Amino acid sequence: MRAITIAFALLCCGAPLAVVEAASPTVIDLTHTFDTNTIYWPTEPGFDLKKLDDGYTERGYYYAANRYDAPEHGGTHIDAPHHFSKPGQTVEQIPLDRLVGEAVCVDVTTPCSVDPDYLVTIDDLKQWEKTNNASLAEKIVLLNTGYAEHWPDRQKYLGTAEMGPAAVAKLHFPGLDPAAASWLCSARRIKAVGIDTASIDNGPSRMFQSHVNLFEHQVPALENVASMKDLPATGFRVFALPMKIAGGSGAPCRVVAVLEE
């Protein structure tokens, strides 16, 4: 930021116009690609890209264009509060202030490596604050379970590679404890939460209580976030920018981290 400020100051002072090297922040992509391997719920057909044009036209120029078709909830995406809350905000109603901001990364890879149904607890979160001498208040809170490293292996990532309604009972992956979801909203007033698994509730959940608890506070959830292995615990911003679907209960979301300069 300093380099940029100096550049602007020089320009504003009427110094001779020159190509000024602007400071480029380090930006880390936390997004999986959408393709035929993109993971959706076992009951959902996946992402479909239909090729419409691909080749040289009779006028001589090259032209490629496609059409896409997918459920809202799959790949790296946002759950809008309306997904599990009738009065909750839909995607286009989520304020940008919730999607852009100071962020933290809570490493829970160790417990998640031994318990595939691990639930991140209030104690984990309080311990993180103590260890890092930092507060979760008003942050975008990313939970690093390590499961992004399994993507796109459905067996390892979801606990089952089977498809269809019967596969839902075989889902195993970590999530956020419903009590911790409530605590993050009421005691820490977080902006948003993100996780590198298929759902903010863990695999065996049937009542999706963490979704319900977050969304009654209008706190959106990012799911299937990509690998957080290059993130520090603190000192970065997240920009989680979803496709602006009017009335959407969720949407594909490009999630990036910008490291402090």
If the CB atoms of residues 59 and 110 are measured against a second copy, the closer one turns out to be 59
**Least Cβ distance, residue 137 to a second copy (angstroms):** 5
Contact 257, 238 (CB under 8 A): yes
**Least Cβ distance, residue 224 to a second copy (angstroms):** 11
If the CB atoms of residues 15 and 166 are measured against a second copy, the closer one turns out to be 15
**Least Cβ distance, residue 19 to a second copy (angstroms):** 5
Contact 100, 86 (CB under 8 A): no
If the CB atoms of residues 116 and 242 are measured against a second copy, the closer one turns out to be 242
Which of 64-68's residues contact partners 24+ apart within 8 Å by CB, and which partners?
Answer: 68/34
**Least Cβ distance, residue 248 to a second copy (angstroms):** 6
Contact 219, 184 (CB under 8 A): yes
Contact 215, 84 (CB under 8 A): yes
If the CB atoms of residues 48 and 115 are measured against a second copy, the closer one turns out to be 48
Q: Using N-to-C axis directions, what is the helix angle for 122-132 and 178-186, rounded to 10°? A: 50
Strands 140-144 vs 48-56: parallel, antiparallel or unpaired = unpaired
Distances (CA, A) of 242 to 100, 137, 254: 11, 23, 6
**Least Cβ distance, residue 179 to a second copy (angstroms):** 17
**Least Cβ distance, residue 167 to a second copy (angstroms):** 17
If the CB atoms of residues 67 and 164 are measured against a second copy, the closer one turns out to be 67
How deeply is 65 buried, as exposed, middle or buried, from its count of CB atoms within 10 A (0-12, 13-18, 19+)?
Answer: exposed
Structure tokens at 33: 């690609």
If the CB atoms of residues 109 and 217 are measured against a second copy, the closer one turns out to be 217
Structure tokens at 250: 């969720």
